Structure 1
């Protein structure tokens, strides 16, 4: 999972930080979303989904199948086809 937050449209309601404080915080300056983990570990995914659903402005987008390395090949040498 990869998270994208649209800071320009965030109103600072804080629902994301309430539902997933390990992943979201609020700016001290204006209260808008601060992303603490762009690609959180799997055990946090359901909390992140709930936080995204509860956002009143829907400024949190989730890329469910996108890895932190943006799709780079993660096959190990043992998985490589033999010549």
Structure 2
């Protein structure tokens, strides 16, 4: 699984960063960015799904 943030949709609520600081951070403008490179570790897949489900703008996608 890979996780992505659509920067055009992100409004900077940063729920993703609150839920999964090992996967997300914020950029200089306060928008969410993925910090994990490559596939999401298996141990963090469920939290990545939770982040996608809790994003108000649906800016997080999983593939």
Q: What TM-score do you get using the length of structure 2 for normalisation? A: 0.90
| Aligned equivalents of 1:4, 1:34: Cα separation in 2 | 8
SS in 2 for 1:43: helix
Q: Which runs of 5+ in 2 are unaligned?
A: none
Q: Which one has more relative contact order, counting CA pairs under 8 Å at least 6 apart?
A: 2
Computing the radius of gyration from Cα coordinates, the structure with the larger value is 1
RMSD: 1.0
- List, as ranges, runs of 4+ consecutive aligned residues in structure 1 with deviation greater than 3 Å: none
Residue 5 of structure 1 pairs with residue 5 of structure 2: yes
Over residues 25-73 of structure 1, what are the superposed CA-to-partner deviations in whole Å (9 max), with x where a residue is unaligned? 111x21111111142110000111111111110000111xxxxxxxxxx
SS in 2 for 1:4: strand
Tell me which residue corresponds to 1:76.
none
Tell me which residue corresponds to 1:51.
51
| Aligned equivalents of 1:9, 1:55: Cα separation in 2 | 10
